[in-house]
Structure 1
């Protein structure tokens, strides 16, 4: 499972997006940005979506090991 915390990326957003794939989290993040008033999502914001998305399962494995 993948996760993206939108706070700090999309101004005014407090949503945490979760999905089974990176592409689905990314798609939902773009939709959220559009709902928050972005007609065109800036490239810098798209880059932050990619950079700050985490693989929750991988993080749990790191913590357990």
Structure 2
């Protein structure tokens, strides 16, 4: 399981996005960004998604 705390990455986002794969977390982050009014997903934003992505510990 992977997760991304989108606070500080996507303006106005307070969610923690979780999914089974890194690619799915990033896909969901892109959708979330667009829903919050980010018109253009820049290379810098994609880098921020990748850099903040973590592997979630399974309890």
Same topology, TM > 0.5: yes
C-alpha separation between the residues in 2 aligned to 1:42 and 1:36? 15
Question: Higher relative CO (CA 8 A, sep ≥ 6), structure 1 or 2?
Answer: 2
Once superposed, which parts of structure 1, at least 4 consecutive aligned residues long, lie more than 2 Å away? none
- 2:5 is equivalent to residue 9 of structure 1: no
List aligned pairs for 1:1-65, cutoff 5 A. 1-57=1-57
Q: Which has the higher helix share?
A: 1
Return the offset for 1:38: 1.3
Aligned pair count reads 58
Q: Which has the larger radius of gyration?
A: 1
When the two chains are superposed, the root-mean-square deviation of aligned CA atoms in Å is 1.1
TM-score (norm 2): 0.90
C-alpha separation between the residues in 1 aligned to 2:43 and 2:31? 15
Which consecutive residues of structure 1, in runs of 5 or more, have no partner in the other structure?
61-65
